[in-house]
A and B are shown apart, each in its own frame.
Chain A
Amino acid sequence: MDSIIYSDFLVIGAGLAGERAAIEAVQSGLDVKIVTLVPPRRSHSSAAQGGMQAAFGYSEMSKDDSSFEHFKDTVRGSDWGCDQKTAGLFCDSAVDAVKELDGWGVPWTRINDKSGNDGLIAARNFGGTAKWRTCYCADGTGHSLMMAMDNTTAKYGIPVFDRCEAVSLIMNEDRCTGAIVLDLRSGKPVSFIAKAVLIATGGYGQLFEKTTNALICNGTGLSLVLNTGKGVLANMEAVQFHPTATVPDCLLITEGCRGDGGFLLDVNFHRFMPDYEPEAEDLASRDVVARRMIRHIADGFGVKSNYGMHLWLDIRHLGKKHIADNLREVREMCINFLGIDPVNELIPVYPAQHYSMGGIRTDINCCCEDYGIKGLFAAGESACWDIHGFNRLGGNSLAETVVAGKIAGRKASDWIRLNNPEISMSCAEHELKCQSERIRKIMEKSGGVNCFEIKSSMKKILTESAGVFRNKRDLEKALAELKELLKKSENVSLKMKPAYSSPELPEALRITGMIHLALCIVKGALLREESRGAHYREDFPNRNDELWLKRSLFRLNSDSGEPEVFYENVDVSDFPPGKRGYGEK
């Protein structure tokens, strides 16, 4: 690889959001390059199962659906934590996004019930939605979307540099002009210089011990922004736990199972959710179901096993044909990984970390300019565009990646045309030197601490303090422990020093940034003395709209070397706070 690579628009991350933005920018005539850890199709987007929300209203159970219904469900789901203007724009755009993807080859499941709408795009039921609104391809929706997106990327000939990890942003004062990228094949840093940059690096699930996320969801894209000392992250304490991850591997079983009529059972094979949630039953929003499950286990109704406590998910009554057609990936996963066939056996499940609502704060145009950095855009799970607030509805994330990706690509193109920003070689050289120096130091140091050990301590601390239930005592303890770890992390060294690229180097380069993110989560959760969506404080069990209609913001303080927290108001003028219709009171 060349040591300097130029483009108009650099896209970091080749999941659905990154590739969608790249396609939009190429269509508007820009020279675009994509860097990614893994070949695009291996991105975590391909693991999404259940579907994508868009209010077509074609199915029998979707009648009279509209983007306004979608909007209301989204705001309720977010527990009034989201940005309502952005959520409105998002819901208005989702239907067109599904149509566009159909043209790009996504084999959406069609209505097939002689209802008069046969052949139109079908929708299934998902948690926290008033109508059946989730469009799907069996239960491999993310995979099919990722295929169509990457095919389209190839169609436009967009160059993708895989096995590349962005390790820092090139800054010219408060403007971003590219990134330093570690070529994971050679272990050498390379400068990618650009007029504008998009970060679409996905979530930060790997900060937790038990997560449904892929092994590459390390949140490094967020660290890039935090490390500038200028950019801003938001709502980092808003972390979603999915009710149905398998025990013991934490593989996701889609909410579509319950959407299609499956339910949860306890140790006595009793269906307990309707006892707690008479209206939404098993399909209350994820935060609510996860809490109900853990409490139900604490009340003595869990199933004991040699791999920890769990509950059951039952889909047997859906029948073999339905499971084979619409839940086939789930079935395959159960057979291969658990050795059980859900057609006639129960699936052992327990809540696990699943989605990162927090991320790089942007405005409605996916742009970071109002939050400290010009020429920088962010989209997808790595961003806090903020349509999810404190709880994302199932199916809203896939929809977000493509809707926001398109907007980000277009707005970045406009921004580049309008500003025609200059590229500064000296800034790139300076940053490359800093990063080379950092790498050299780590390579040369010996007898320091081991990054794998630090990482596993960090995961443990976060899991114990910032899980489904949180409280002041645990969070304070975690804060102190993370500060210790942060100090230690500055002293990492490599256990083995081969001449070639070793997976240990990027691991060592990431660790400080990951602890920064963990600190954001714990600080945000400690300060937010209320319960909202997925953030549940045992010592402050109610939502507090008087004090906390606020978005937490995080910036790295260069003096303390730690993230500091500040706030902005959340505008709730379109749909004022009220009852969610499920959950506590």
Chain B
Amino acid sequence: MKMLMSQIFHPVKEDMVKNRILKIEIMRFNPDEPDRMPFMQKYTVEEDKRISILNVLQNLRDNEDPTLRFDAVCRSAVCGSCAMMINGRPGLACRTYTSELPSGIKLHPLPFFKLIGDLSVDTGTWFRAMYERTESWIHSSGSTENLYQDNEKMKAVYDLDRCIECGCCAAGCATANMSDTFITAAGLLRAARFFIDPRDERTESQWYDVIGNDEGMFGCSSYLACNDYCPKNIPMQNTLAMLRRKMIKAGIFGKSR
């Protein structure tokens, strides 16, 4: 096989290793000790290899401070555990490399969710409550034997099913940070996922009862911070626009049905 030299590369591209001394600041706080105030703990880290923020945190926990709390499971941006504020922006620690950042790096826990300690927040409890609020499961009276489905429709469902529940969208959302009952982009997305699923029988007016209010679709200001921060690039803009149209329509006509 012929191969151009320009296509040959090392597994780690050179610009991913910058060989700097990084100044990392991490917010430390334990809600069980409320009399000790939150503070920023400083560490210096040598950037001699290509390292992610997660690698930095693991090294600190294994070698310096085993009490440091943060969450990580998959290391590959599929489990949604490791979201945190990285220099003021919500993002996944496992797929953010230090080379993408300046040498001063500040880490805070995600806002909006309940703090467990340091960088760890309770997304699990919040998302479970969201499933209950949106009844995040197929509502169908039929049998499961009809397996014929249009592939394009299944692809569209998969597109929205890809949410990893990291919470970045909620953390970056102005509405959510003002109102802790706001359903957030993740919740609206969940509604949309079942709304477009041909196997789910809920009607527009049923959905209107769930999200057709100020804590749902009408609380969303459509500035789309969620779209910018979603690490899975879920098509938030189109999805929210579609949902808004449907809900407005259901609001006008739906109730009379």
Known A140-B162, A154-B132; judge A339-B13 contact (CB<8 A): yes
Interface residues of A: mostly helix, strand, loop or mixed? Answer: loop
**Chain A, range 169-200, C-beta contacts under 8 Å to B:** 185-186
- For the complex formed, measure the closest distance between the CB of A347 and the CB atoms of chain B, giving whole angstroms: 9
Q: Considering the chains assembled together, what is the distance between the CA atoms of A307 and B51 in angstroms?
A: 13
A340 touches B9 (CB 8 A): yes
**Chain A, range 36-69, C-beta contacts under 8 Å to B:** 38-39, 41-44, 46-47
A502 touches B66 (CB 8 A): yes
Q: Which of A243-251, A289-297, A359-367, A571-579 contacts B (4 or more CB under 8 A)?
A: A243-251
Q: Considering the chains assembled together, what is the distance between the CA atoms of A345 and B4 in angstroms?
A: 11
**Any chain B CB within 8 A of the CB of A567?**
no
Closest residue of B by beta carbon distance from A155: B137
- Categorize the interface residue count of chain B: 35 or more
Report chain A residues within 8 Å CB of B197.
105, 107
**Any chain B CB within 8 A of the CB of A121?**
yes
B137 touches A105 (CB 8 A): yes
Q: Considering the chains assembled together, what is the distance between the CA atoms of A526 and B123 in angstroms?
A: 45
Q: Considering the chains assembled together, what is the distance between the CA atoms of A52 and B128 in angstroms?
A: 26
**Any chain A CB within 8 A of the CB of B252?**
no
Report chain B residues within 8 Å CB of A499.
32-33
A336 touches B95 (CB 8 A): yes
Over the window 451-465 of chain A, the binary record of Cβ atoms lying under 8 Å from chain B Cβ atoms (1 yes, 0 no) is 010001000000000
**Chain B, range 78-114, C-beta contacts under 8 Å to A:** 78-81, 95
Q: Considering the chains assembled together, what is the distance between the CA atoms of A246 and B78 in angstroms?
A: 16
- For the complex formed, measure the closest distance between the CB of B173 and the CB atoms of chain A, giving whole angstroms: 20
B151 touches A110 (CB 8 A): yes
Report chain A residues within 8 Å CB of B199.
102-103, 105
Q: Considering the chains assembled together, what is the distance between the CA atoms of A495 and B63 in angstroms?
A: 10
Q: Considering the chains assembled together, what is the distance between the CA atoms of A456 and B245 in angstroms?
A: 55
Known A39-B124, A339-B16; judge A103-B11 contact (CB<8 A): no
Closest residue of A by beta carbon distance from B158: A107
B32 touches A269 (CB 8 A): no
Known A41-B80, A270-B1; judge A325-B144 contact (CB<8 A): no
The total of Cβ contacts below 8 Å across the A-B interface reads 206
**Any chain B CB within 8 A of the CB of A265?**
yes
- For the complex formed, measure the closest distance between the CB of A212 and the CB atoms of chain B, giving whole angstroms: 9
A144 touches B66 (CB 8 A): no
Q: Considering the chains assembled together, what is the distance between the CA atoms of A310 and B151 in angstroms?
A: 37
Closest residue of B by beta carbon distance from A118: B151
Over the window 1-45 of chain B, the binary record of Cβ atoms lying under 8 Å from chain A Cβ atoms (1 yes, 0 no) is 101000101111100100000000000001011000000000000
A500 touches B33 (CB 8 A): yes
A151 touches B67 (CB 8 A): no
Pick the contact of B158 from A138, A271, A337, A344 — CB < 8 Å? Answer: A138
**Any chain B CB within 8 A of the CB of A443?**
no
Q: Considering the chains assembled together, what is the distance between the CA atoms of A561 and B3 in angstroms?
A: 58
Known A107-B161, A251-B75; judge A500-B66 contact (CB<8 A): no
Q: Considering the chains assembled together, what is the distance between the CA atoms of A304 and B62 in angstroms?
A: 30
A160 touches B128 (CB 8 A): yes
Q: Considering the chains assembled together, what is the distance between the CA atoms of A504 and B64 in angstroms?
A: 12
Selected A-B contacts with CB under 8 Å, 10 pairs: A39-B165, A47-B76, A103-B144, A105-B197, A105-B199, A112-B151, A138-B155, A155-B135, A337-B76, A452-B66
Interface residue ranges, A against B (CB under 8 Å): 38-39, 41-44, 46-47, 99-100, 102-105, 107-112, 118-122, 137-138, 140, 143-144, 147, 150-152, 154-155, 160, 162-163, 185-186, 214-216, 246-249, 251-252, 265, 269-271, 305-307, 310, 325, 329, 332-333, 336-340, 344-346, 348, 452, 456, 494-496, 498-504, 507
Interface residue ranges, B against A (CB under 8 Å): 1, 3, 7, 9-13, 16, 30, 32-33, 50, 61-63, 65-69, 71-81, 95, 116-117, 123-125, 127-128, 131-132, 135-138, 140, 143-145, 147-152, 154-155, 157-158, 161-162, 164-165, 194, 197, 199-200, 232-233
Sample of 4 further A-B pairs with CB below 8 A, known A39-B128, A39-B165, A105-B197: A103-B199, A248-B11, A252-B76, A499-B33
Closest 8 CB pairs of A and B: A103-B144, A39-B124, A504-B66, A348-B11, A110-B151, A119-B148, A112-B151, A107-B157
